[in-house]
Structure 1
Amino acid sequence: MDFELRPLEWSEAAQVEVDALVVVSFDGSVAAEADGPLQRWIAQAQQAGDLGQEPGQWLAAYRLPEVAARRVVAVRAGDGSPRHVRQAVAAGWGALQGAAPRTLGLVLPRADEAAVTAAVLAIAEASYRYTTTLSKPKPRVLERVLLGVPQAAAVQRAFEWAAATVHGVELAKEWANRPANHARPADLAAAAEALAGPDLDVEVLGPKEVERLGMGALLAVARGSREPLRFIVLRYQGAGKRQAPVALIGKGITFDTGGISLKPAAEMDEMKFDMSGAAAVLGVFATLAQLRPAVNVVGLIPACENMPDGGAIKPGDVVRSLSGQTIEILNTDAEGRLILCDALTYAQRFKPRAIVDVATLTGACVIALGGVRSGLFASDDALAQALLAAGEAAQDPCWRLPLDDEYAEALKSRFADVANVGGRPAGAVTAAKFLQRFAGDVPWAHLDIAGTAWKGGKDKGATGRPVPLLVRWLLEQQAEPEVVLRRARRGARA
């Protein structure tokens, strides 16, 4: 989908030639004596009570006099907060579903960076369709969105960041939504290789290379599957070579049966989403390739299946990780932390200034936070604050949970250096404490996205989170934010 930002007053919006126009109305944004066809129509509707008062309530018109667009939808956005803007845009698009417009004008009477970000992300979310494995797919009909705001220059940066983030979110959704037989470890590696280009290099390691490195924990999880593992390394070099990179690690379990500790059959199909962390890392790098910011980023994706064949690891087995630490596997369904721990050790070779791992790691985090906020654990307060702030700014929030040393007591083992599970109490925390053992002295954070990476039920599908959070955080790492816009515009002209 193509996005365009244009300086636009309401009086000018009436002349925009698009298939449909969604006009977002904030509280107090239209006066009774307003001039212009759109303003008069909305003012009259408000006076008559036809537009309602609640965010998301809408009124539609066809062939409104003096308006170029065939269809117009006015929709309430309350106080103009990001949450209300997202509600309004989603409702406005819903009102147009039967019309299937190819071009859409989205008009905000006033806009700050948060409202623009909300509008762009909301229309992308509302119009998204998964089609890859459908025999007769109905592709997304919306091709171009024109966002009209009075002061476009003031929100240019936010608009470009949001539009590029959509690209990354939709790539993450695509790979997380694919069934496991269409998203094998080798397929993920091919998707990563397709991102290679200026400033972005990709290396893929197979089972033999991983074995030579000594990644015993990753190898142990992959043993039960006929699909060979892949360890994917992405390197984006947007800043000078002397600048230490940030390392992102994404859990890439392309299907999780639980292994010998087999999961219940009900809803096991949703375990195709267990590689949502890996999909998010791919999405972040797709956004980096488009914006080309002045940062250095390393991405690591350990990818494999967790299956229960005769070669699979068993409860009670002890394996040696890349760090040299031995791990007693008490539950084979706690496999994500096993593949991540080797990736955390591998990340040290890049001498990163921070490491963030992203994983659908624990059901306990779902119980704690539901699907609203991702769980955040961090060894460094400054890193935690930066990620929390980025999540709020990107409307992809997280919540910090504790890492007290006392929680590590549950992971003690008589037969190895550490056990891979610590029982039901504080399961999300003990999982994070396990990972912390392998992060070294580098500032490290862990995002548990088990509750936010996908939705179940009738709305089943990937959300693309936490791509917006991570993109925002990385872009804020730049010493010169304006470099983003210079490089993005240069790329657009090429």
Structure 2
Amino acid sequence: MEFVVKSAKPATLKTATLITTVLEEGRLGAAAQAIDLATGGAIAQAFKRGDLTGKPGQVLVLHNPANLKAERLLLVGLGKEQEIEPRQWRKAASALGGALRNLGGSDATVVLQDVQVKGRDLYATTRMLVETLADGLYVFDRFKSKKADPRALKKITLVCDKAQSGDAERAAIQGAAIASGMALTRDLGNMPPNVCQPTYMAEQARQLAKGYKGLKVEVLDENKLRELGAGAFLAVAQGSDQPPRMVVLQYNGGPKGAKPHVLVGKGITFDTGGISIKPAANMDEMKYDMCGAASVLGTFRAVLDMQLPINLVGLLACAENMPSGHATRPGDIVTTMSGQTVEILNTDAEGRLVLCDTLTYAERFKPESVIDIATLTGACIVALGSNTSGLMGNDQVLADALLDAGTRADDRAWQLPLFEEYQEQLDSPFADIANIGGPKAGTITAACFLSRFTKSYRWAHLDVAGTAWISGGKEKGATGRPVPLLTQYLLDQVR
């Protein structure tokens, strides 16, 4: 999808679909008033007939509007002027995109001058629109014998005042890049686990490097992991016929010598739970247990599309967790790359095992910050549901930056505590640490486990178990989160 920015009078633009917003009670902004005047009151008449109320997300198509060069006029409701929050704007943008999918024409034009969203300037408003429209056009039909109909819509023009065109252009570029990163993340998450295995994830990283200059990829196989002493990582993979991979991505777009930001992604390409096997119901969704790693690749694509002047490292901890005669047993003790020993009380708490060695590996980059992203605990879904990611860490400045980035990207997180008292739940009589902390505060104790391996740098942990995919029904699929949050955080580092 191509997004272009133009400053012009909407009524003069030749387009398949001209889109303008309206408010409840028939109230119109200046741009909508001008369009209404040009059409001889077509918008006002639609309100008068009761065809339109202006409620958030309501749409109405007027065909062959008089005195416009557009083939049709699409009206989108925003609700009451004083109540236009980001959520209402996203709802309206989604409805707009849904309407466009059902209309003909290869282009559309959106009039932005009348849109005033609380707490958002034109840049933020435009970027949310672009992300929502592009993400709404996503289709995953790779394994369907009958493919989706080709999208007729190829270009969307965004109309704004000339004085704001620079902000709108920046928003269009960055919004499109973020949507592209989300699409890659969704593609990887939606792939079946007989295809998307650790070696496949490594190959996708290599493919990304072929498409962009400045990206280097190194793949560490099981022999290299053994040399590094990654006993916890290898323990997770030893029950599977699929070999593990740690994938290292390096992009040096920033000043030479500047410390890199490091993104670490959990990449369990399928999680049966191992010997501590999961219930059969909904186990197919355990293909999404690699969405943390997928979000790292998606964020890299967004950064590379924008060519951000930043130094960035990505570490993908990829393995498959299967039961077999070679699988790790509850009660086994392994030695991590850091030298700490772990008693594995539950083989279904495997994500923290691949992550702990990967977080130790991150030390060698002398990072400015380290953020790990993982579909780590079902307890996070219980605590926060499916709308908000869990956030914990050892540096409040970093945590605050991520919380702020999530709010502005409309990809929110919520901070949970890491009080020292929780660490006691991980005590083991036989090893330095147990890999589970009992039934209480499971999200927190999982982060406490990871914190034992992050003492040498600023670290934050994002538990995206509730936000990385949508469960069940026709809408089931990867969401692409938290690519917007991560990309916003990285954008903030270069301003």
State the TM bucket, normalised to the shorter chain.
Answer: over 0.9
Q: Distance in 2 between matches of 1:469 and 1:287?
A: 12
TM superposition shift of 1:34 = 4.2
Q: Residue 60 and residue 304 in structure 1: after superposition, are their counterparts in 2 closer, same or farther (change >3 A)?
A: same
In the alignment, does 2:357 pair up with 1:339? no
Q: Distance in 1 between matches of 2:39 and 2:271?
A: 53
Residue matched to 2:14: 16
Q: Residue 368 and residue 162 in structure 1: after superposition, are their counterparts in 2 closer, same or farther (change >3 A)?
A: same
Is the 1:379–1:443 Cα contact (8 Å) retained in structure 2? Answer: yes
Is the 1:17–1:68 Cα contact (8 Å) retained in structure 2? Answer: yes
What amino acid is the match of 1:172?
Answer: T
> Structure 1 residues 345-354 or 77-86, which shifts more?
77-86
What amino acid is the match of 2:269?
Answer: T
Q: Distance in 1 between matches of 2:463 and 2:167?
A: 34
Is the 2:5–2:168 Cα contact (8 Å) retained in structure 1? Answer: no
In the alignment, does 2:7 pair up with 1:3? no
In the alignment, does 2:165 pair up with 1:149? no
Residue matched to 2:493: 477
In the alignment, does 2:23 pair up with 1:30? no
Give a deviation string over 1:108-135, Cα, whole Å, max 9, x none: 2345122112211111222211122222
Residue matched to 1:90: 94
Is the 1:217–1:319 Cα contact (8 Å) retained in structure 2? Answer: yes
How many residues were matched structurally? 476
Is the 1:177–1:273 Cα contact (8 Å) retained in structure 2? Answer: yes
Return the match for 1:446 from 461, 465, 468: 461
Is the 1:56–1:91 Cα contact (8 Å) retained in structure 2? Answer: yes
Give a deviation string over 1:283-341, Cα, whole Å, max 9, x none: 01111111111111100001011111111101111111111111111111110000000
In the alignment, does 2:483 pair up with 1:467? yes
Greater than 6 Å deviation, 4+ residue runs: none
> Structure 1 residues 148-157 or 39-48, which shifts more?
39-48
What amino acid is the match of 1:425?
Answer: K
Residue matched to 1:170: 183
What amino acid is the match of 1:81?
Answer: E
Identity of aligned residues (%): 47
- The 5 Å alignment of 1:359-374 reads 359-374=374-389
Q: Distance in 2 between matches of 1:134 and 1:476?
A: 40
Is the 1:129–1:139 Cα contact (8 Å) retained in structure 2? Answer: no
Residue matched to 1:255: 270
TM-score of the superposed pair, with normalisation by structure 2 = 0.92
Q: Residue 101 and residue 308 in structure 1: after superposition, are their counterparts in 2 closer, same or farther (change >3 A)?
A: farther
Unmatched runs of 5 consecutive residues or more in structure 1: 482-494
Q: Residue 352 and residue 334 in structure 1: after superposition, are their counterparts in 2 closer, same or farther (change >3 A)?
A: same
Residue matched to 1:179: 192
Unmatched runs of 5 consecutive residues or more in structure 2: 116-121
Aligned-partner SS, 2:18: strand
Give a deviation string over 1:187-227, Cα, whole Å, max 9, x none: 11111111213221111111111111111111000111111
Give a deviation string over 1:236-267, Cα, whole Å, max 9, x none: 10112211001100000011111111111111
Residue matched to 1:485: none
Return the match for 1:120 from 130, 135, 147: 130
Residue matched to 1:294: 309
Residue matched to 1:488: none
TM-score of the superposed pair, with normalisation by structure 1 = 0.92
Q: Distance in 1 between matches of 2:276 and 2:104?
A: 47
- The 5 Å alignment of 1:225-374 reads 225-374=240-389
Q: Residue 17 and residue 307 in structure 1: after superposition, are their counterparts in 2 closer, same or farther (change >3 A)?
A: same
Q: Distance in 2 between matches of 1:309 and 1:417?
A: 27
Aligned-partner SS, 1:70: strand
Is the 1:10–1:39 Cα contact (8 Å) retained in structure 2? Answer: no
Residue matched to 1:433: 448
> Structure 1 residues 77-86 or 356-365, which shifts more?
77-86
Aligned-partner SS, 2:430: coil
TM superposition shift of 1:26 = 4.6
What is the RMSD computed on CA atoms of the aligned residues?
1.8
TM superposition shift of 1:33 = 6.1
